[in-house]
Structures are given as structure tokens and as C-alpha cells.
């Protein structure tokens, strides 16, 4: 929705609308950066406006509250993550090694900064009823899209028995590996574990 | 260490020491409860002292900072979780259904309040260098103990190839399922997924 590439192909907007979208995109990118670097409690609308180089007035105009800013940022972030995954996946050659490449790429996404930012918001929403109510439908949509994308990248056929569960287990395992990597570098253990997982997944698909 | 049952069997302490331990235990239980109900940002030493029914002075004496209180609570929490798991596991009869029972019990632990409290602290530590430095060795120890406990409960033999990775994958999968259950009830999906996982795990062990 806010992906930079899309605005270019849609020349029907006025310059004012283009500026608005550029301002929004800067605010959302700064929100993600702020969540990654300072966590939920260190993320404020004032800090985000400063990081984005956007006036306080413009920030309040587009996203009047921290909740509205963070909600839009999570959506932006999910789209950016899916786009990055799609682009990287296109570079993985077909053949028997493709499954390994796709799993490695997904593992990198679930241990990368964008997933850390999402976790910050997810955890905060657990004890914030307003944010939680707003996030639940978004989480369901993001989850479905990530599942669909993984099926597509692996060329899996979910009509075969057990395939749907194998894709879900892969994504839940990667979520868990993201959490296990929060405080310390878990790369060595993760690499060994995923080597075994890839062999298993290949037989399940 | 702070488990209520242990103090009973160790009658060498003075009444003063017993009172101190009881006060500490109350503070740590209140910290866990506070993290579960109010999250990291809603947890303060003042709120915890009030919830525990402990004077501000006594709280400051035992745990002078939020970091020291939370660190001790995480350790307490890990021990309490392991103890609960051990007790529940003892009630699962041996035989072919035991694996299913153990996995269900572990899944309940990773979607329960104690794991939510741990996640709150883990995420906060990501962007708090002091807390992070203190938590990293504790996280490693808790992770090792949870692994060892799972091996023991499943009666698995890690000398067989692939068994170690299968245990690790089970625990990482459960971590991921805990995250997937943060904002909404994921029970139906989790139950179906774990049914498939149990069959797979049985062949791997």
C-alpha cells in the first residue's frame, strides 16, 4: 500500500497527494526503525516525527495517536516483508536446492529487524485492549498471507494430506526460532536444526 | 530456589530468615502476576510491593531495582514452570499415549501465563543493555533445563541420530505456537497442527 514502487506507476494523484503519501511513508519507516532500536516503550510520536524529519503538525495530521501510527506501520511492515521475501525468492534457482534456499530466506526474515518490530507491537497489544482489538484482524490477515506466500514459494500442493500442517509447522517453528534469537546469536543451533527440518519438510511436501 | 515446598524440609533457618524468604517469594509471585496482567511497561516496583502486601522498605531491601526484581522473578518463574511440568508429567501414564500427553502439557505451558510473563521480559531486554546482559546467561540455563526436562519426560535417547534436533524443533515449535496465541485464541489450529506433529515426533524418536 505504501510501497515506494507502487506510487510511481499510478500517475493520477496530484502533487499534494504525492507529498502526503511520501510523508506517510517516511513516518511509517521511522516508526519501524524506532521500534527496532528503542522497543515499544521507547517509541513515541515525537521521537518518530523527529526521526522521519516530519513536522509535529504533519505527523499529528496523518497519525494523531501512537496506536494509529503503529497500526499503519505494522501493515506497512508486513507488506514490506512480503515484498522483500518475494524479491529474494525470485533469485533462488528452481531444482532440488530450492526448498533449502526458501527456508533459509524465511528464517532470515523471522530473525531480522522487521520481525523484531512486529514482536514489540504484538507483545504490547497483549495488555492494551484498544491496540489488541485493532491488531487481531490485521494479525489474521498477515498470518494468512505469509502462509499463502510460503506455499507459493515452495510450490507446495495443499490438497495433498499433511502438506498444510507441514507449512504451518514450518512457520510456527520459524516464529519460535525468532524468539530464541531475541537476546543472543542463535545462528549455529538454528542452522543445524534447520538442516534436519529441511530434510523432513522435503519428505512431507 | 524460592519454591514454597523446599523451605519446609530445611529447618536450619532462623525465623527471621524464614520471614525474609516468605517476603521474597511474595514479591516474586506478585512480579510474575503483574507482568502477566499489566505487561512490562505496567510493572513497577511500587505496584509489585502493593500487590504483594509488602512494605516499600522491605521491597527496596530485597530487590532495590526493577531489574533485580524482574531477574529474580524470571528465575523463580522458570523453576515454578519446570516444577509444574514435572508434577503434571508424573500423572501421565506410560505407554504409547504418553508422548501425546507430554506434548499437550508442554503446549499448555508455552501458551500459559508464565510463558507470557517471560516473553514480556525477553522483549524488554532486547533494547535494555543492562537487563539483556543479566538475562543472557539465565536464558541459556533455562533453555538447557527445558531441553533436558523434555528429553526426560519423553524418555528420548539423544545418542540416536536426529533425536536431539527433534526435541529442539519441538520446543522451538512450541515457542512459536506461544507467540501465535498472544492476541487471539489459536487453540483449534494448534490442536490440529500438534496432532500431525505428534505422529512425526513418534517416528523421529
For residue range A124-137, what is the model confidence (pLDDT) as tens digits? 999 999 899 989 99
**Alpha carbon of A71 to those of A5, A78, B52: distances in Å?**
21, 11, 35
pLDDT in the model for residue A5: 45
Smallest Cα–Cα separation from B82: which of B187, B1, B21, B177? Answer: B1
Q: Strands, E, within chain A: which ranges?
A: none
Rounded distance between C-alpha atoms, residue B74 and residue B54, angstroms: 19
Round to whole Å and give the CA distance between A178 and A186: 9
Residues in chain A: 205
Sole residue written with cell 507502487: A6
Distance CA B170, CA B30 (A): 31
A123 interaction partners in chain B (CB closer than 8 Å): 39-40, 119-120, 123, 182
pLDDT for residue A137: 92
Closest residue in chain A to residue B139, using alpha carbons only: A183
8 Å CB contact of A176 and B180: no
Q: What is the pLDDT of residues B8-19, one digit of tens each?
A: 555 677 888 888
Q: Which domains does chain A have, with CATH numbers?
A: 4-204 (1.10.357.10)
Q: What gap in Å lies between CA B36 and CA B30, rounded to an integer?
A: 10
pLDDT at A6 over 70: no
Residue B4: per-residue pLDDT: 45
Judged by CB atoms closer than 8 Å, whether chains meet at B122 and A182 is answered as yes
Separation CA A52–CA A42 (nearest Å): 15
More confident residue, A72 or B94: A72
Q: In 3D, which of A180, A117, A150 has the Cα closest to residue B175?
A: A180
To probe the interface with B, which of A33, A127, A186 has the most B CB atoms within 10 Å? A127
- The Cα A19–Cα A29 span in angstroms is 15
Using CB atoms, pick whichever of B124, B135, B180 lies closest to residue A175.
Answer: B180
**What is the distance between the alpha carbons of residues B97 and B194, in angstroms, rounded to a whole number?**
14
**pLDDT at res. A11:** 60
Chain B residues within 8 A of A175 when measuring between CB atoms: 175-177, 179-180
A192 touches chain B (CB under 8 A): yes
How many Cβ atoms are within 10 Å of B6's Cβ, its own excluded?
Answer: 12
Q: Is A163 exposed, middle or buried (0-12, 13-18, 19+ CB in 10 A)?
A: middle
Asked if B128 reaches chain A (Cβ–Cβ under 8 Å), the answer is: yes
As a whole number, the mean pLDDT across chain A is: 90
Higher pLDDT, B92 or A96: B92
Residue A173 above 60 pLDDT? yes
- DSSP assignment letter at A59: H
Q: B134 in helix, strand or coil?
A: helix
Spans of chain B below 70 pLDDT: 1-11
Q: How many CA atoms lie within 13 A of A29 on its CB side?
A: 14
The answer on pLDDT for A139 being more than 80 is: yes
Q: Please report which confidence band the pLDDT of residue A34 belongs to, taking 50, 70 and 90 as the band edges.
A: very high
In whole angstroms, give the CA distance from residue A154 to residue B44.
47
Spatial distance between the Cα atoms of B22 and B13, rounded to a whole number of angstroms? 12
The pLDDT value given to residue A181: 93
User: B183 contacts in A (CB within 8 Å)?
Assistant: 122, 125-126, 132, 135-136, 139
Distance from CA of A148 to the nearest CA of B (A): 16
CA distance A80 to B90: 47
DSSP annotation of B184 reads: S
Amino acid at each position: 500500500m505504501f510501497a515506494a514502487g507502487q506510487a510511481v506507476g499510478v500517475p493520477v494523484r496530484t502533487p499534494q497527494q504525492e507529498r502526503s503519501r511520501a510523508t506517510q511513508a517516511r513516518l511509517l519507516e521511522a516508526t519501524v526503525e524506532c521500534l527496532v532500536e528503542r522497543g515499544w516503550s521507547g517509541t513515541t510520536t515525537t521521537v518518530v516525527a523527529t526521526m522521519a524529519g516530519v513536522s509535529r503538525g504533519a505527523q499529528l495530521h496523518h497519525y494523531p495517536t501512537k496506536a494509529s501510527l503503529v497500526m499503519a506501520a505494522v501493515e506497512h511492515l508486513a507488506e514490506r516483508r512480503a515484498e522483500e521475501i518475494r524479491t529474494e525468492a525470485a533469485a533462488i534457482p528452481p531444482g532440488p536446492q530450492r526448498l533449502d534456499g526458501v527456508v533459509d530466506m524465511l528464517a532470515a526474515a523471522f530473525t531480522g529487524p522487521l520481525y523484531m518490530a512486529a514482536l514489540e507491537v504484538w507483545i504490547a497489544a497483549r495488555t492494551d485492549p484498544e491496540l489488541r482489538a485493532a491488531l487481531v484482524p490485521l494479525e489474521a490477515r498477515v498470518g494468512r498471507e505469509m502462509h499463502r506466500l510460503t506455499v507459493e514459494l515452495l510450490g507446495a500442493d495443499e490438497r495433498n494430506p499433511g502438506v498444510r500442517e507441514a507449512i504451518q509447522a514450518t512457520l510456527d517453528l520459524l516464529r519460535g526460532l525468532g524468539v530464541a534469537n531475541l537476546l543472543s546469536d542463535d545462528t549455529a543451533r538454528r542452522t543445524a536444526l534447520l538442516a534436519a527440518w529441511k530434510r523432513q519438510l522435503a519428505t512431507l511436501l
